[in-house]
Amino acid sequence: MSTRLSIIIPTLNAGEYLPNLLEKLFSQTIDDKEIIVIDSMSDDDTTEIARSFGVTVKPISRREFNHGRTRNVAADDASGEYLVFLTQDALPVDDHLLENLIAPLENDGQIAASYGRQIAYEHAYPIEKFIRGFNYPEESRTKEKSDIPVLGVKTFFCSNACAAYRRDVFRAFGGFRGDTIMNEDMEYFYRAVMAGYKVHYAADAQVWHSHNYTLFEQFRRYVDIGVFFSNNPDLAAYSRNETEGIRYILAAARHLIDNNEPWQLPHLLLDSLARFLGYRAGKNYRLLPVKYMEYISMNKAYWLSQEGCGKIKDPEHMRHLGRS
């Protein structure tokens, strides 16, 4: 029997987050839903907590984890008309998250997916609070192919930390690509938009979500972003990462000064340098040993996989690997 929503949450040692997240999800205004936790062999009580709430638990090995492929595995078991993906550390701000997230899909059949607004936790660093507001503004927006000349790669920007997909379209597209190191959501949005669908940013669908990354963690994250764009030249053609990076630094610096936090400027510069160096290393990953990439990447499992170890040099081949 089908349900209205299937909520899919990949987890790893999520015991700290899961009770609050599941309580928030069960208090949502939409009752017709199922929750699937796909867990990468957690060492803590993640699966016990999930089962105590009566949700479905699907275990996989850590070596099997891949951002796109893992979500596909859970989606294959889902029965909902809409697929909602959340990360374990994203917490709904109110009881209307799911209602507001799927409303655009129900109101416009050409919208293939929507994603919510991420608001930084109160304990987040000042720069992290700014970047969440920079990427997730207060105004909602529908994006389509005609927006590409103005928005560039931002046309396809989204986040599976909080996103909803029309299941029939998701399956027609074959789900997420199974060979990406990250940004499986952006790559899917790219295919949807280029096929004539629209995607929607729902600013009224809000979650608390942020990271206090160290400089090395930020470097490693941007290594993976660089790898992604290196392997997806079609998407990279629309990217203005260097220009966007400068715009971000200037806007962040202005924000810190206006909010009487000028002592954060050195950290902003170091953080931006870590992002830049990581991105450049990732873009040139084929020149570096796999063992080195395994060390500097946030996604070690990728480099143990066929995609990483093979360090595929032909981006055209990458586009045909699909879900496998």
Residue pLDDT, tens place only, 191-232: 999 999 999 999 999 999 999 999 999 999 999 999 999 999
Residue tagged 């290196």 (tokens) = 230
Q: What percentage of the chain reaches a pLDDT higher than 90?
A: 88
- pLDDT over 50 at 322, yes or no: no
**Between 311 and 93, the higher pLDDT residue:** 93
Residue tagged 């074959």 (tokens) = 174
3-class DSSP assignment, residue 28:
coil
Global pTM reads 0.92
> Is residue 175 classed exposed, middle or buried when 0-12, 13-18 and 19+ CB atoms within 10 A define those classes?
buried
For residue 80, give the nearest of 174, 200, 168, 189 by alpha carbon.
Answer: 168
Residue pLDDT, tens place only, 293-304: 999 999 988 998
* φ, ψ (nearest 5 deg) of residue 118: -105, 125
pLDDT (mean) for 245-270: 92
Residue pLDDT, tens place only, 125-158: 999 999 999 999 999 999 999 999 999 999 999 9
Q: How far apart are CA 309 and CA 96, in angstroms?
A: 43
Question: Residue 153: what residue type?
Answer: V
Confidence category of residue 310, pLDDT binned at 50, 70, 90: low
Domains annotated on the chain, with CATH = 3-208 (3.90.550.10), 215-318 (no CATH)
Q: What is the 3-state secondary structure (H, E, C) of 44-72?
A: CCHHHHHHHCCCEEEECCHHHCCHHHHHH
Residue tagged 């690509």 (tokens) = 177
Q: How far apart are CA 161 and CA 181, in angstroms?
A: 16
Classify the phi-psi angles of 288: left when phi > 0, otherwise alpha if psi is within -120 to 50, otherwise beta. Answer: beta
* Number of neighbouring beta carbons within 10 Å of residue 246: 12
3-class DSSP assignment, residue 2:
coil
Q: How many CA atoms lie within 13 A of 9 on its CB side?
A: 28
Distances (CA, A) of 260 to 131, 267, 271: 17, 15, 19
Helix (H) or strand (E) holding 80: strand 80-86
Confidence at residue 154, expressed as pLDDT on a 0 to 100 scale: 94
Q: How far apart are CA 186 and CA 39, in angstroms?
A: 23
Confidence category of residue 321, pLDDT binned at 50, 70, 90: very low
How much is the CA Rg of the chain, to the nearest whole Å? 19
3-class DSSP assignment, residue 24:
helix
Helix (H) or strand (E) holding 36: strand 33-39
* φ, ψ (nearest 5 deg) of residue 142: -100, 135
For residue 66, give the nearest of 232, 178, 160, 230 by alpha carbon.
Answer: 178
Q: Record the tokens describing residue 83, joined without a space.
A: 């697929």
Confidence at residue 244, expressed as pLDDT on a 0 to 100 scale: 77
Q: What is the 3-state secondary structure (H, E, C) of 183-240?
A: CHHHHHHHHHHHCCCEEEEEEEEEEECCCCCCHHHHHHHHHHHHHHHHHCHHHHCCCC
pLDDT (mean) for 9-32: 97
Q: How far apart are CA 22 and CA 297, in angstroms?
A: 30
For residue 104, give the nearest of 179, 203, 20 by alpha carbon.
Answer: 203
